[in-house]
Amino acid sequence: MVDEDINPSNLYDVVWAMSSRCDPVNGIDILREMSDTPLDPIAERKEYADEYSLGRVIILACKPFDQVIRNTFPRVVEPSLELQREVKNKWKEIF
pLDDT band at 22 (very low <50, low <70, confident <90, very high): very high
pTM above 0.75, yes or no: no
Q: Which residues contact 68 (CB under 8 A, 6 or more apart)?
A: none
Find out whether 22 and 42 touch, Cβ atoms under 8 Å: no
Beta bridge partners of 35: 53
What pLDDT digit, counting tens, does each position of 32-57 carry? 988 888 888 888 887 777 788 889 99
Q: Which residues contact 49 (CB under 8 A, 6 or more apart)?
A: none
